[in-house]
Chains A and B, each alone.
Chain A
Amino acid sequence: MLYEGTKLAWRAISRNMLRSFLTVLGVVIGVAAVIAMVTIGNGTTAQVKSELSRLGTNTLFVRPGQWGPGRASTEAKRFTDKDVLAMQDQVSGLRAVAPINRGTATVIAGGANHSTSVIGTNNDYLIAQDWDLSIGRQFLPNEDRGSQAACIIGQTVRKELFGSADPVGQNIRVSNVACPVVGVLAAKGQSGMGDDQDDTVIMPLKLHQRRIGGTTTISSIILSAQDGVSTAKVQSDVEGLLRERRKIALGREDDFSVNDMSQIAAAMTGTTMLLTGLLGAVAAVSLLVGGIGIMNIMLVSVTERTREIGIRLAIGALENQVLTQFLVEAVMLSIFGGVTGILAGLALAYGVVTLLGVPFAASPTIILVAFAFSAAIGMVFGYFPARRAAQLNPIEALRHE
C-alpha cells in the first residue's frame, strides 16, 4: 500500500510540477538556510581549530580587563615595560614574552602606498607565533631599544609596495616614520576569521609606542611556554605575578586575563553557537511557513480531487488507505522540498567557504536531521487535509463536479 501510495503521490506531484515547487519553496528556503549556515560554521570552526593546533597549546594571551564568554573587556590599567621584564625574570619555563601594541597606518614606499596594520613588539613575537622570515633578519638589540628604526613587513605589504623587487634595505614610511625594511615574513595566508595575516608591518615596540601609538603602555602580551612545561602552571604564575604587581587585594577579581588557546576557542564557539541559535530560529519560522504552504495546497488538492476520492471510497478504499495516499503525497512534497533545500544549502555553503578560503565541512548529521525534519513537516501539515479527504461522504463526493 505504501508503494502504491508513493507511485500515486509521485504522479499527483509531477502532474503539477511548478505548483509543487512553489508549494515547497518555504521548506526549501528553511532547509537551505540551516544547511548552509551549519556547513559554513563547521568550516570556520575547523579552520580556527587547525590554526590553533598550528600555534600550539602552549601559547597564553595576557590582556587587561576580563575577557571571555559573556564578558566585554572593561576599562583596566594597561601593562608596562616593567610587567614584561618581571615576567621574563620571575616566571620560569617561558620560551617567549612578546608585548603587543596594534595600530593601523598608511605605509609608503616610492610612489606606492598601502594601508595596513602595524604591530609593535619584539623578536619573541616571531617565536610565539611560530613565524619565520622568508628573507632578511630580525631586530637588532639597538633597534629593539628604539634607538634605531627598523621594520619587518608581511608578504602582502611587500607585494603592494615593492612588487617583485627585493625590499630589504629599502626605506618605507610608516605614518611619517622613516623605517628601513630589515626582513620579510613568510607567507601565512588567511586567519580563521577571514583576514589576511600577511597584510602587516612589524616594528620594535619602542618605535611603535613613540611614533604610532603615542603611549608608553602595552595593550597585550603573548607568552609561549617551553615544551614540556605545564601551561596551567605558567598561567597561574603569571596571574599571581600580575595580581601582585597590580596590587589586587585578596578576594577581588582580576582586572586582567590570561587565556590559553582552548579558552579563546571556547569563547569563539560560544559566539558561533549564539549565531547558530538565532539563524536556527529564523529557519524554524521559514519551515513553519513552508508547512502551512503544504497544508494549503493539499487542501486545494483534496477539493480538486473530490470526485476521485469518491470513486476510490465507492470501490472499496478504506478511510486509512485514502488517508495514507494523501499523507504520503504531503510527505513526498516536503521531502522533495527538503532534498532541494539540502542541495541548495550545500551549494550556497560551498560558494561561501570558497570565497572565505575556509574548508568545506558538510555534516552528515545535520543533513539527516534536515531530511527527517522535512518529512516530519509533511506528516504534521499533511494530516489535516488527508483526514478531510478520507472522511468525505462518497455519495456527495461522486456528485461533486
Chain B
Amino acid sequence: MPPLISFDKVSKYYGRGEATIRALDQVDFAISAGEFVAIMGPSGSGKSTAMNIIGGLDVPSSGDYLFQGVPTSGFNRAQLTLLRRHMLGFVFQGFNLLARTSAVENVELPLVYRGMDPRERRRRALAALEQVGLGGRADHTTQELSGGQQQRVAIARAIVTDPAVLLADEPTGNLDTKTSNEIMDLITRLNRDNGITVIMVTHEEDIAAYGRRLLRFVDGHLVSDEHRAREMDHAV
C-alpha cells in the first residue's frame, strides 16, 4: 500500500533568472494514513508552500506530489478541486468563515458543492458541530462567536466531509494559549479517535509538540524528520 501522501523531489521556484527564489528544493518525504505531522520552520522556509502543494492549491515546478500513490502532476484545476473536495479538509489561521452566515451554514458549505440533499446536509453539519462541542450554537452567525468558537466551526467544516487528511495552517495563530490548547486537544482527538490524518503548519514549539512527527524546513530544504511519542496524551 503506497503512502497517503508523498513528495518525490518536489521543487517550487518563484520568479526567474537571477531573482529566482527556491521555495522548495528537491524535497522528499512520505506521510502515512493516520499520522499527525507538524511542519515547522522560519518564515520563507518553504513550509507554507509545501502545505499549499499538499492541499492542491499550488503545483510543484518540478518533481511530483503523489496522493495515495497517484501522481498529481497531470491534474488540471478541476481535478485538483475534486481532490480537495473529496479528500482534504482545511483549517486556516484566520478561520476563513463566511461572514454574516450561521455556523451550521458554514459547515454545510462543502456539502453544498457535493450536491448533497439539503436535509442530509443539515443533519451531517449539526453532527459535526456537535463533535467540535458547538452543538448549541448552530444558528449563531460568525460575528456572534469568539475566536475559539470560530475555529471550532472551521474544524467542523473541514471534517464534515469525512476527509482523509485535515490540513491545518497555523490553526492557533490567532488564539490565546488556553483556547489554543483546547483547539489542539480537539484536533488530537480527531486524529486519535477518528483516524483522520493531520498535517499542521505552526511556528510554535509547544503547538508542534501535539504532533507525533515533526518535519522542519529551512530555506526550502527538509532538514529534520523526527518521530516522537505524544507528550500531551495524558491531557486529552
Contact = CB atoms under 8 A, between A and B. Distances in A.
Interface residues of B, number: 26
B174 to A, nearest CB: 14
B78 to A, nearest CB: 6
8 closest Cβ contacts across the A-B interface? A316-B85, A315-B110, A317-B113, A316-B113, A311-B96, A395-B57, A316-B84, A394-B57
B100 interface: yes
A318 B113 contact: yes
Interface string B84-108: 1110001010001111100000000
B112 A4 contact: yes
Interface string A306-337: 01101111111111010000000000000000
A236 B156 CA distance: 90
B77 interface: yes
B58 A395 contact: yes
B115 interface: yes
Contacts of A318: 78, 81-82, 113
B114 interface: yes
B137 to A, nearest CB: 20
Contacts of B97: 311
A15 B110 contact: no
B232 to A, nearest CB: 28
A90 B81 CA distance: 92
Contacts of B115: 1
B228 to A, nearest CB: 30
B81 A317 contact: yes
A398 interface: yes
Nearest to A8: B112
A312 B161 CA distance: 14
B105 to A, nearest CB: 10
A321 B52 CA distance: 22
Contacts of B110: 315-316
Interface of A: 1, 4, 15, 307-308, 310-319, 321, 394-395, 398
Given A318-B81, A395-B57, A311 B98 contact: yes
A4 B78 CA distance: 20
24 contacts: A1-B115, A4-B112, A15-B100, A307-B96, A308-B98, A311-B98, A311-B109, A312-B113, A313-B81, A314-B55, A314-B57, A315-B85, A315-B157, A316-B82, A316-B86, A316-B114, A316-B161, A317-B81, A318-B78, A318-B81, A318-B113, A395-B52, A395-B58, A398-B92
Nearest to A307: B96
A321 B85 CA distance: 13
A147 to B, nearest CB: 92
A273 B82 CA distance: 56
A103 B59 CA distance: 89
Contact of B90 (A4, A15, A314): A314
A307 to B, nearest CB: 7
Contacts of A308: 98-99
A307 B92 CA distance: 12
B22 to A, nearest CB: 18
Most chain B CB inside 10 Å of its own CB: which residue of A1, A308, A314, A321: A314
Contact of A315 (B58, B90, B99, B100): B90
Contacts of A312: 109, 113
B112 A319 contact: no
A317 B92 CA distance: 17
Most chain B CB inside 10 Å of its own CB: which residue of A307, A317, A319: A317
Nearest to B90: A314
Nearest to B161: A316
Contacts of A4: 112
Contacts of B112: 4
A42 to B, nearest CB: 45
Most chain B CB inside 10 Å of its own CB: which residue of A1, A313, A314, A316: A316
A87 B15 CA distance: 98
Contacts of A15: 100
Nearest to A310: B96
A1 B100 CA distance: 21
A15 B99 CA distance: 12
A154 B92 CA distance: 87
Nearest to A15: B100
Given A15-B100, A395-B52, A398-B96, A315 B113 contact: yes
Contacts of B77: 319
Contact of B81 (A307, A311, A316, A398): A316
Contacts of B78: 318-319
B127 to A, nearest CB: 18
Contacts of A1: 115
Contacts of B113: 312, 315-318, 321
A313 B97 CA distance: 13
Nearest to B94: A398
B122 to A, nearest CB: 13
Interface in B37-91: 52, 55, 57-58, 77-78, 81-82, 84-86, 90
B157 to A, nearest CB: 7
Most chain A CB inside 10 Å of its own CB: which residue of B78, B81, B96, B97: B81
Contacts of A313: 81
A398 B84 CA distance: 15
A4 B55 CA distance: 26
